[in-house]
Amino acid sequence: MTRDEAQALLQAYRPGTADAHDPVFAEALDLLSRDAALRTWFESQDRFDGAVRDRLRAVAVPDDLLSRLLTARGQPVRRRGAPVWRRALALAAAVALLLGLGLYGLRSPPDAPTALGAYRNHLAAWLRQFPTLEFESEQLSEVKAWLAARGVTGDLAVPKGLEKFPTIGCRRLDWQGRNASLICFMVDGEVMHLVVIAGPPLDGGAAGVELRHVRVGEFHTATWARDGTAYLLLTRAPAETLRRVLAG
């Protein structure tokens, strides 16, 4: 297990709970005991989580928040008027606040990532708040055309299962001089963020075509590569939803 993989797992680890005996974390905890740099990172992470817990205790949850969220998720996506994803995201923002969105500034800015795993962790932190999009459309064909016109990415191999759902929009990303893009989809009331990175193969296991699933904090993620392009998919949706979408 690499340090990046251990960090991804340890972000979901809860000290002082049954997680200490969960075999899922065993290898990461073993590396933690032997890696001083990883231990320093984990201690900083634990201090941040403590600050989040302290802030959450001071936040009052609206009594009707759950019913409003469930109502929003049950409405269909419409082309006319205010799209349902805007209303759902507005409500989800309240939940995101309770999860510590405003506390991200307590962290020190992350070092420039040097591996796909590090970039995945950075994205999971950045996407805690819904990003600003440069182009909005519910049609994947329009999103692809907008990105292609700007030379961001070439022929995108979007999973067939994901193509069945409406898009929200897209934006360009810049990571270590690489052309990259973000496309957001609305899948059964949850947002799925697809990040596409063109260029030479990345390290961290992204050079092959094997699909890898990793839990990073509140996000379920998947990474794979195809025809020289790396793909990352991040979502708060259940892992089963992610697997279903990728299975087509």
CA distance 218 to 121: 11
Q: Return the DSSP state at 210.
A: -
In the chain, where are the structural domains located? 3-106, 116-247
pTM to 2 decimal places: 0.55
Structure tokens at 153: 């990415």
Reported as type and span, the H/E element at residue 29 is helix 23-34
Q: What is the pLDDT of residue 105?
A: 38
Which residue type occupies 14? R
Residues 6+ apart with CB under 8 A from 225: 201, 202, 206, 207, 208, 209, 231
Packing angle, helices 23-34 and 36-57, rounded to 10: 120
Structure tokens at 131: 């990003």
Structure tokens at 157: 């191999």
Residues 6+ apart with CB under 8 A from 38: 3, 6, 7, 10, 31, 32
Q: How many helices (H) and strands (E) does the chain have?
A: 9, 7
The DSSP result for 192-234, as a single string, is EEEEEEESSPPSSS-SS---EEEEETTEEEEEEEETTEEEEEE
Q: Is the Cβ–Cβ distance between 10 and 213 less than 8 Å?
A: no
Reported as type and span, the H/E element at residue 167 is strand 167-175
Q: Is the Cβ–Cβ distance between 231 and 199 less than 8 Å?
A: no
Q: Is the Cβ–Cβ distance between 103 and 51 less than 8 Å?
A: yes
Structure tokens at 52: 């989040």
What are the pLDDT tens digits along the chain (248 aa)? Answer: 778 778 777 877 777 787 788 777 888 899 989 998 888 888 887 777 777 666 666 666 677 766 666 666 565 444 444 455 555 555 555 555 444 444 433 343 343 334 677 778 888 888 888 989 999 999 999 999 999 998 877 678 899 999 999 999 999 987 777 788 999 999 999 999 999 987 665 554 444 445 678 888 889 999 888 877 888 999 999 988 999 998 87
Output the CA torsion 149→150→152→155 (10° steps).
Answer: 10
Q: Which listed CATH number (3.30.200.100, 3.30.70.260, 3.30.70.1230, 3.40.50.2000) goes with 116-247? A: 3.30.200.100
Using CA atoms, how far residue 163 sits from 90, 138, 186, 214, in Å, is: 24, 11, 11, 22
Neighbours of 219 (CB within 10 A): 24
